[in-house]
């Protein structure tokens, strides 16, 4: 059999066509690669342009805000008949302190988006599941369909004692600091020795503050053996009144010292009504006036009250369904490394849920409730802390109300006293003060000293603040931040629950110092 071979010309044409096809494919691939490279370059240019535009818009808004706040008749000091250089808008903003403006809370704006509102509905569904599971367990174990809230009633017991203790602290905070300021201010400019007057008045007021706002709440909590929630109400209100009164004196005293009244005139003091409003409005920075809304939205008030009650019952079900079954001593399990590790990881879910509930119930609902009732227009009580890629940003955005107080009266005053030096020391001092106050509130609220919060805040928090700083912009660091929050909340819930049961089943035998500060769970040998 013979095979027919194509002519040489045909082979040449086919080879030439294949070369054209291959070269065309290579050219197409090169064009696609160039197009991808160009798209990447265009995306980088776009991001850089957006960053520049954002920075420029921020500068423009800062300048517009400063110009609107500062009066146009402001006279700048002159040197040799020449006006000194006007400071930049950012430095003016720093000198003027916090600026309040009309703005809504971030979650209220996000809840307008249906996708975000669905996440909120998911949490409501989980609450309903908690209720149904509790009903089912009670029906199976005891044959009844009744929801009992005995733990909730126990936690909020002795509310009569809480009410009269709060009344004493409130009346004192309203009258004594205010009239002490009026007394000191009326004599300041005419007194022979301003330093003696200021030191004497400050020492007397500090002694009274120590007795009424420091020792009195502690005495009430310990002497009356208040339950946990009632303890937290008294202690947190004690801290709030101390911070409020300090802000009032810190903001008004320098203004009185700088303003010398004309002959025959009395110094100008803030009105008692403005101070009374400040004691209830949701901010810790005193101003004689704040931006106000035109009316109260009562539907918003009712919904917010319902949310607060829902968060209260949510927290109750988390403790009853996820914490008590794990840590109650009836489990008859000896404490070991294995059970400790399992307990920590079993506490992560209730821990993070309690953290989110505390944020939503207090920083959003409770503060917005008082803001709405008082027509307080500046509702920026928090920022988008959940998007943080650094712990430095998380600490700034989690609780803006407390952060502002720490920044203006702690960090910035420290820098002012040190001449603008030692910024790291100023930041560290603010961390230590915040950690001590947090640990004090937990120790007084639970009735025992177990410095878990202090260690996590003052040790790990400081390390994370300086290592995971604002330079970390990758989404990976947002995952790291959430993982640390999950683990930290699990450790806190686990250790505090263990110590709570250890305090019950292994009470103290003496009241020595080391007996009071040593955790009972370290030496208690009861079976869990």
pLDDT digits (tens, 9 = 90+) for 261-316: 777 677 788 999 999 999 999 999 999 889 999 899 999 999 999 999 999 988 88
Choose one of 280, 301, 318: the last residue of a domain: 280
Both 170 and 224 in one domain: the answer is yes
Q: Are 402 and 126 in contact (CB under 8 A)?
A: no
pLDDT tens per residue across all 528 residues of the chain: 444 444 445 444 444 555 554 555 556 566 667 777 776 776 676 666 656 655 555 555 444 444 444 433 333 333 333 333 344 433 334 456 788 888 989 998 898 888 888 988 888 898 888 888 877 877 777 766 666 778 888 889 889 999 999 999 999 999 999 999 999 988 888 888 888 888 999 999 999 999 999 999 999 999 998 999 999 999 999 999 999 999 999 999 988 888 877 776 777 889 999 999 999 999 999 998 899 998 999 999 999 999 999 999 888 888 888 888 878 765 545 566 777 788 888 888 889 999 999 999 999 999 999 999 999 999 999 998 998 888 888 888 989 999 999 999 988 888 888 887 888 888 888 888 888 999 999 999 998 888 888 888 878 877 777 776 667 777 888 898 899 899 989 999 988 988 888 888 777 777 777 777 778 777 776 544
Active site residue 505: no
Do residues 241 and 260 share a domain?
A: yes
Residue 131's domain spans which residues? 112-144
Same domain, 129 and 171: no
Distance in angstroms (rounded) separating the CA atoms of residues 137 and 184: 64
Tally the domains of the chain: 2
- Both 186 and 250 in a single domain? yes
Contact yes or no for 282/268 (Cβ under 8 A): no
* Residue whose tokens read 């975000």: 116
Helix (H) or strand (E) holding 524: none
Asked if the structure places residue 504 within a domain, the reply is no
**Does residue 219 share a domain with residue 127?**
no
Judge if 155 and 272 occupy the same domain: yes
How is the chain split among helix, strand and coil, in percent rounded to 5? Answer: 75, 0, 25
Q: Which of the 8 DSSP states describes residue 459?
A: I
Q: Same structural domain for residues 251 and 130?
A: no
Domain shared by 199 and 119, yes or no: no
Answer yes or no: is 227 within a domain.
yes
Are 140 and 253 in the same domain?
A: no
456 contacts 492 by C-beta, under 8 angstroms: yes
Inside any domain, residue 116: yes
The verdict on residue 219 lying in a domain is: yes
Q: Domain check: are 208 and 246 in the same one? A: yes
CB-neighbour burial class of residue 202 (10 A; exposed 0-12, middle 13-18, buried 19+): middle
Within a domain: residue 388?
A: no
Residue that finishes a domain, picked among 240, 257, 280: 280
Catalytic residue among 16, 41, 403, 438: 438
CB atoms within 10 A of CB 123: 15
Q: Is residue 330 part of a domain?
A: no
- Residue 491 makes CB contacts below 8 A (sequence gap 6+) with 344, 347, 351, 452, 456
CB atoms within 10 A of CB 180: 18
Q: Is residue 174 part of a domain?
A: yes
What are the tokens at 386? 């959940």
**Does 508 map to a domain?**
no
- Nearest CA-CA partner of 501 in 338, 343, 317: 343
DSSP string, 11-51: HHHHHHHHHHHHHHHHHHHHHHHHHHHHHHHHHHHHHHHHH
My answer on whether 154 and 235 are in the same domain is yes
What is the model's pLDDT at position 463? Answer: 79
> Of 124, 144, 164, which residue constitutes the final position of a domain?
144
Q: Are residues 177 and 249 in the same domain?
A: yes
């Amino acid at each position: 059999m013979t095979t027919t071979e194509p002519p040489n010309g045909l082979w040449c044409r086919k080879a030439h066509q294949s070369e054209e096809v291959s070269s065309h494919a290579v050219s197409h691939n090169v064009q696609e690669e160039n197009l991808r490279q160009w798209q990447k370059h265009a995306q980088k240019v776009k991001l850089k342009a957006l960053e520049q535009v954002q920075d420029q818009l921020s500068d423009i808004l800062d300048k517009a805000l400063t110009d609107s706040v500062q009066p146009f008749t402001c006279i700048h000091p002159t040197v040799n008949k020449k006006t000194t250089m006007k400071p930049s808008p950012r430095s003016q903003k720093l000198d003027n302190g916090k600026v309040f403006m009309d703005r809504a809370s971030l979650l209220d704006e996000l809840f307008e988006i249906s996708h975000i509102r669905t996440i909120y509905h998911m949490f409501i569904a989980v609450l309903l599941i908690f209720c149904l599971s509790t009903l089912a367990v009670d029906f199976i174990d005891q044959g009844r369909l009744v929801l009992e809230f005995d733990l909730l009633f126990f936690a909020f017991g002795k509310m009569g004692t809480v009410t009269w203790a709060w009344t004493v602290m409130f009346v004192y905070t309203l009258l004594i600091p205010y009239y002490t300021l009026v007394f000191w201010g009326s004599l300041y400019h005419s007194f022979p020795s301003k330093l003696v007057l200021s030191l004497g008045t400050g020492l007397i007021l500090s002694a009274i503050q120590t007795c009424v706002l420091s020792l009195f709440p502690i005495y009430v909590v310990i002497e009356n053996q208040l339950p946990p929630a009632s303890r937290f109400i008294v202690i947190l209100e004690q801290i709030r009144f101390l911070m409020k009164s300090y802000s009032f004196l810190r903001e008004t005293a320098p203004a009185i010292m700088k303003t010398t009244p004309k002959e025959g005139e009395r110094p100008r003091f803030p009105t008692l009504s403005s101070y009374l409003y400040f004691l209830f409005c949701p901010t810790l920075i005193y101003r004689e006036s704040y931006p106000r809304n035109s009316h109260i939205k009562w539907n918003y008030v009712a919904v917010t009250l319902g949310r607060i009650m829902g968060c209260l019952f949510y927290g109750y079900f988390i403790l009853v369904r996820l914490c008590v079954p794990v840590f109650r001593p009836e489990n008859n399990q000896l404490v070991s490394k294995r059970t400790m590790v399992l307990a920590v990881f079993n506490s992560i879910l209730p821990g993070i849920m309690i953290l989110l509930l505390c944020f939503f119930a207090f920083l959003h609902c409770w503060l917005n409730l008082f803001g709405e009732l008082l027509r307080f227009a500046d509702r920026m009580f928090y920022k988008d802390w959940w998007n943080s890629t650094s712990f430095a940003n998380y600490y700034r955005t989690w609780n803006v109300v407390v952060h502002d107080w720490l920044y203006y009266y702690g960090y910035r005053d420290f820098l002012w006293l040190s001449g603008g030096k030692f910024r790291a020391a100023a930041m560290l001092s603010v961390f230590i003060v915040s950690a001590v106050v947090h640990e004090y509130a937990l120790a007084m609220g639970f009735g025992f000293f177990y410095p878990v919060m202090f260690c996590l805040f003052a040790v790990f928090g400081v390390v994370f603040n300086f290592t995971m700083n604002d330079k970390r912009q990758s989404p990976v660091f947002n995952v790291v931040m959430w993982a640390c929050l999950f683990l930290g909340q699990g450790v806190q819930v686990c250790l505090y629950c263990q110590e709570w049961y250890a305090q019950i089943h292994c009470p103290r035998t003496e009241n020595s110092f080391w007996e009071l500060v040593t955790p009972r769970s370290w030496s208690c040998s009861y079976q869990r």
